Amino acid sequence: MSKSLQAIRGMNDILPEQTPLWRHFEGTVARLLDNYSYKQIRMPIVEFTELFKRSIGEVTDIVEKEMYTFDDRNGDSLTLRPEGTAACVRAVLEHGITGGGQVQKLWYIGPMFRHERPQKGRYRQFHQIGLEVFNLDGPDIDAELIVLTWRLWGELGIRDAVKLELNSLGTSESRGRYREALVAFLSTHLDKLDEDSQRRLKTNPLRVLDTKNADTQAILADAPKMADYLDDESRLHFEGLKARLDAVGIPYVINPKLVRGLDYYSKTVFEWVTDKLGAQGTVCAGGRYDGLVEQMGGKPTPGVGFAMGIERLVLMLETLEQIPEEISRQVDVYLCAFGEAAELAGLALAERVRDQLPNLRLQVNAGAGSFKSQFKKADKSGALYALILGDDEMAQQVVGFKPLRGQGEQQSIAWDALAAHLATCIVQG
């Protein structure tokens, strides 16, 4: 197939055999967020380029080299959203729903776009579920965000495989003082820094802290520590968060070098990481951004949130084999009808059963086929039972009820009794 007729590198189709696990994941998150009373918001996937430049920061990898930016037919510069926070802040401001200190606990789901080098767990179109909370400034809400992800990992069966890393970046004032100290220290080692760090030193010095270069990391061992520059307010906030995590029993490690790749953070930052996915091990990340709303033209409004990468979490479920039995089986019952009259009766019967058992996954064979080929299809569907409607069954107004997974002999069930019979069988598994 010619290249222009293939999917774009790093942008994936999610195939029918993959979607059940995606839906399991998305459904589990949505239910949990309902329970914690978060409300869903849906933003467009395209925004003015300026929005992302202003919020994420001009001197970040995302804005400098990863955005899908284009001029539309009006000549406006637009960008496919690389993340959700900027658009969510834009939306709440535009609709005034955080005005007057109104608390908003929001979540969103959808595709994000970054022109990164594709590899396992890193794509150019990927999907996030994100949460953003406005107008709550205490550590209790930071803790709630972490506690609910901890519960999610438990429900998904991956809790033992993820680790929480925490840091506090302080207020912008304390971060400014730390930045000065760091620049002064690194300037005395300028000739030993790698090229990228030399550049970052001038543009975004805190990002030097998360360099992958081992020599630069060795130099950083003696660098001033961010924790020593924290103002009292940030220190108390961080202590408050840790106390709450301790109270719930959530383990964490303090990573003083955790700075995050987006510029809008202040105070708390955190990442959930795993060693099960290779190089792309961050499955969920976020933090507090108390200055962002104001920076975007709103009134001072505290904010905090995070986003998780759906591809990475689905990969984890596969790697750890945490795939519930009911999603590997898509069909409960498969109805095989032989002959035109049986097909019509089968259709009507199937609809009657669906009226009574709305959660039953009932597949009706489409089109004709020999007895043998229909059974093959029934078996391949993964169904627990086949229903058979042939001439004999039609004459007696019954269906043949055939267990497909070694659960006993075939029996005849009257049409009127079918739904009740299925209800007991399926519940009993």
Listed as own residue / partner, the contacts of 1-8 with beta carbons closer than 8 Å and 24 or more positions apart are: 8/124, 8/125
| 178 counts as binding ligand HAM under rule CB under 6 A | no
Minimum Å gap between C-beta 241 and ligand HAM is: 15
| 210 counts as binding ligand HAM under rule CB under 6 A | no
Among 28, 69, 172, 282, binds ligand HAM (CB under 6 A): 282
Among 200, 207, 312, 402, binds ligand HAM (CB under 6 A): 312
| 422 counts as binding ligand HAM under rule CB under 6 A | no
DSSP 201-236: HHH-GGGGGG---HHHHHHHTTSPPGGGG--HHHHH
CA angle 203-125-134, nearest 5°?
65
| 132 counts as binding ligand HAM under rule CB under 6 A | yes
CB 182 within 8 A of CB 199: no
Among 57, 84, 291, 302, binds ligand HAM (CB under 6 A): 84
Minimum Å gap between C-beta 284 and ligand HAM is: 6
| 311 counts as binding ligand HAM under rule CB under 6 A | yes
CA distance 400 to 305: 55
Among 104, 128, 168, 363, binds ligand HAM (CB under 6 A): 128
Among 284, 333, 335, 387, binds ligand HAM (CB under 6 A): 284
| 109 counts as binding ligand HAM under rule CB under 6 A | no
Among 285, 350, 384, 413, binds ligand HAM (CB under 6 A): 285
CB 72 within 8 A of CB 78: yes
CA distance 274 to 267: 23
Burial label, 293 (beta-carbon count in 10 A; 0-12, 13-18, 19+): buried
Among 24, 53, 90, 114, binds ligand HAM (CB under 6 A): 114
| From 116-124, 177-185, 384-392, 403-411, span contacting ligand HAM (CB under 6 A) | 116-124
- Contacts of 4 by beta carbon, 8 Å cutoff, 6+ apart: none
| 162 counts as binding ligand HAM under rule CB under 6 A | no
- Specify the 3-state DSSP secondary structure of 230: coil
Among 286, 291, 298, 346, binds ligand HAM (CB under 6 A): 286
CB 305 within 8 A of CB 357: no
| 90 counts as binding ligand HAM under rule CB under 6 A | no
CA distance 202 to 59: 10
CB atoms within 10 A of CB 63: 21
Among 161, 182, 283, 293, binds ligand HAM (CB under 6 A): 283
Residue type, 137: D
Burial label, 28 (beta-carbon count in 10 A; 0-12, 13-18, 19+): middle
Beta bridge partners, 337, equal: 389
- Nearer Cβ to ligand HAM (313/378): 313
Among 25, 123, 150, 178, binds ligand HAM (CB under 6 A): 123
| 69 counts as binding ligand HAM under rule CB under 6 A | no
Report CA torsion sign: 40, 43, 49, 54.
negative
Nearest C-alpha neighbor of 287 from the set 189, 427, 167? 167
* Residues in binding contact with ligand HAM, number by CB under 6 A: 25
CB 41 within 8 A of CB 91: yes
- Nearer Cβ to ligand HAM (181/296): 296
Among 309, 314, 334, 362, binds ligand HAM (CB under 6 A): 309
Minimum Å gap between C-beta 245 and ligand HAM is: 18
| 170 counts as binding ligand HAM under rule CB under 6 A | no
Joined together, the tokens standing for residue 300 give 């001072």
Residues making contact with ligand HAM (CB under 6 A): 83-85, 114, 116, 122-123, 126, 128, 130, 132, 262, 282-287, 305-309, 311-312
